[in-house]
Every structure is written in structure tokens, then in C-alpha cells.
Homo-oligomer: A and B are copies of this chain.
């Protein structure tokens, strides 16, 4: 085998803009690929350049429409494997089905594991992902997984806003996100509080159920990994406001924004909503107070290091 294992970046149809930003960071042209649907909806794939022996990265967040994006990714994998790519890394800035990661009741799937099995079965050699809903999903794979964290991107932006530490309170919007809140608090300083969702219902948001440091008169920053319908987050925001917070910032890596999320967020009293471009946010959903931070440099640098056999974990030291 001759050694022209050049790096190539290809994008599915889920988020070509992110793929292009990554390619720009790496100073590479986008790999040429034709994707489409037959009249009956079946996906077709044709790779339009040589990929034999190349080190291929496929960028495809499996955001909504999740089943379309996932099947397209699987068909891309089959194409690249049969076209003799030397190595295929799936770049999943957002991992669809991640929340179904265990059986809490009987007779349900572990969808996140199924997805892992499907990706491996279709030919993935490695996974590069970002802010998994549960870190244990790494263990759903036996192929190597590089797990990036967007936290430094948020922290860097927030530090740039110059909030005095004494006025900050980091807030976990529910008990499931306390660890994430603590990690941010360690970097950003300030107090720590938890919204106690047991007693707060969506309809009675004026109740003041919080535990931890008081947010009264403070700048509250809430962190979650994703915003889907925004019901849960907006409920938390309302409680934080009812407890007297002066300013409220909301941070979430993955802006899925489905259902009436946009309406809820528009009506909520939020100073700024910070998200990343791990999934596309169509212009119609880009509220004036929505700030999209790019993770293209983070992904691009990780890809470069994977390709060059340099340490990825050192990115976070």
C-alpha cells in the first residue's frame, strides 16, 4: 500500500456549514460527495473523488430529522468502507438518541447503544463527539471515541463578559445537571444553586423552590447540555427570576429547539441564550438574544490531532 493517507473531510446533509468551517480551519477543500433522495425517499450516495487509502472524516450531527440524518450517515459509511478508505472517523457534534441510554422501565430499547452498534456495524473506525448526554456512552463503543467538551468555549465567552465573581451564581436547572454546574463554578467562580424541580410544576412557576446560594440580585447562569422543547429550561428560568435574580443567562451546547421551544424562549425573561453550532439553527429560530458560539475550531483541531497522532486529551489541559 502506498502511503498517501491524506486527510479528507466530507459532510452529510445535516450540517454542511459546520463541516465547511472545520475544513476552513484545516485549510482543506471539502470532499466531493453527491447526496440525494430517490422519489420514494431512499437516500442515494455517490463519492465524487478518490478515497482509497485516505483518512476520512464524516461530519454529521444526528439532530432532527434524526432518522434521516442517521440513515444517511450509515449509507455514507457503507460507501466509504466499500470504496476502501483507510480509516473512517465519524464526527458527531451531536449524538441523537443519547438520552435513551439505559432501561429505567422494562421492555424499552437502549437506543443510544443501538446507534453505537449500527455505526460500528456500518463501518465506523473511530468516533469524535462532543458533550455526550452521559459520558458512559463512550463505553457503548469498542472502537476509540474522542469526547470533546464545549465547556471551555462557554467559559471563555462568559469570562469575556466581565461579570464580577461576587455577583455570579451558577445554577443547575435540575438535580441531574449539578455536576456540570459545579465544573463551571470551579472555573467561573461565584455561588452555586439548584432548581428543585420536585415541587415546581410547569404551571406554578412563581414558586420559589431553589436550594443553595441565593440568586437574589445576582447574575444567574444556567447550564444544560441541550435545549429541546425548552419547557424544562424555561421553567427553571422562571423559578430563578421568581427568586429575584437580576440577570439570567442560559447556556446549552446543543440547540435542538423543537416543538414550541422558540416561542417559549422568546417569551421567557432571559438576557442571553448561549449555544454552540453543534447542530444547525435555521435563521427563523435565531432569536435576537441567541448567541451561537462556534465549535468548528475545537473540532478542527481535534481532527488535526487525530490525523497526526497527537494527543486530543491535551486539548483540555
Contact = CB atoms under 8 A, between A and B. Distances in A.
A40 B52 contact: no
Interface stretch (A1-9, A14-22, A161-169, A236-244): A1-9
Interface string A195-223: 01010000000000001100000000000
A272 interface: no
A102 interface: yes
A97 interface: yes
Interface residues of A, number: 101
Nearest to A72: B67
A313 interface: yes
B109 A1 contact: no
B53 A309 contact: yes
B113 A39 contact: no
B67 A82 contact: no
A58 to B, nearest CB: 13
Contact of A102 (B1, B46, B138): B138
Nearest to A193: B211
Interface of A: 1-5, 38-48, 50-55, 63-68, 70-72, 74-76, 78-79, 81-84, 86-87, 96-97, 99-114, 117-118, 121-122, 126, 134-140, 142, 144-145, 147, 175-176, 178-179, 182, 192, 194, 196, 198, 211-212, 228-229, 256, 258-259, 306-314
